[in-house]
Structure 1
Amino acid sequence: MAKPEAVFIYIGTYPDETAARADYDVVKDLHSLGAVGSYDASVVTKDDGKVHVNKDETATRHGAWGGAAAGALVGILFPPAIIGTAAVGAAVGGVGGHLWRGMSRADVKEFGELIDEGEAALVIVGESTLQQALDKAELKAEKQVAKDLDVSSKDIDKAIREAAGEVS
C-alpha cells in the first residue's frame, strides 16, 4: 500500500484518440464528484514520429497541478526533439526532477514503450487516492501500467507553485 501522500502514475493505451478521451472524461467526472484529489491528465498521441500532448482548457484545472505533472512525465519519457507540442515546457524542471527521482530506468522504459505508433494514451499523474477511484471506474484501456512512486505529492505541489511563481 502506498503512502497517503505518494504520487501515482497511470498510463493506458487506446486504439484511437476518441477512446482515450472517453476515459479522460471519466477521470474528470471522478474529480467533479470529489473521488480524487489533485491530479493532472493528458491524452497523448504519437504519429509521424512526433508525440503530441493534448489538453483542453477546462481539463487542466485539477487542484494545484494544472497541466504541469503530465507534461513533465511526457518530457521524461520522450526526447524533446520528438515532442510536437509546447505543453511540456518549463514544467519538466522542478516537477520532472521529483518524478524522475521516484522512477527506475525500467519504469521509464516501460512507460515510454507503452505508447505505440498510431495509438493514443491517457497519462495521469496524481495523488495515491486516484488509484482506488480508477480501479472502481474500470477504464477501457487496451493495455495499462499503474505505479506508485516514492515521491510526495506535497513536493509536486510545491514544485508546481514555485514554477508558477507562487512560492519562494
Structure 2
Amino acid sequence: MDIAKIRLGVVGAGAWGTALAKLLADKGFVLDLWVFESEVKEQIETDRENKFFLPNIKLPDNIIPTNDLKIAVNQKDLVLVVVPSHCMRDVAGRMKNFISPETIVVTASKGIENKTHMTMTQILAEKINFLPKENFAVLSGPSFAKEVANKVPTVVAAASTSRDVSEYVQKIFS
C-alpha cells in the first residue's frame, strides 16, 4: 500500500476523531480533518493540539484542519466519519454534496439515532445513497481516545458487507 497516494479525510475533531486522525498521521498519511468549531481549527493550526477535546496530545503536521467539509471529503479514497450520533444525519446529508462515487466511507461514531434506532452506517448509506452499500464500513471496539493517541495497544474491528472493503480498512488502520 502506497501511503503517499491514499487520500484520506476525517470528519469530526472530537476526542475520538482527533485520536484516530493522529493514529493515521503517525502512520504517515496526510489527511484533512474537518473541524466544526473554528476556534478548535485555529488551535490545531497554531499549537498542533486539540486542547478542547484531546488535551496534552501533540498532533503531527500532516493533519490539516479545515472548517470546510468539502475539502475534507471531496476526492478522497477513504473518509472516516467520527461525529456525535445526534449530528450524523445532518453531516451525512451535507457530505453527500461533495463525496466522490468511489470513496469508502467508514464510521467510528458510537450509538444509534434516537428517533429511528438506525445505526450510524445505516444513516450514512441512506443519506449518501448513490454509493454502493459495499462502500460503507464501521470501525468499532473497546478503545479510548487518549489511549489510542498515546499508542497504547488496542483491538478494534473493521466490518463491511464487502470483504475487500473490510480488509482495505484493516490495512489502513493497522
Instruction: Identify the TM-score tier after normalising by the shorter chain.
Output: 0.3 to 0.5
Please identify which structure carries the higher helix content. 1
TM-score by length of 1: 0.35
Q: Which fold has the larger relative contact order, with Cα–Cα distance below 8 Å and residues 6 or more apart in sequence?
A: 1
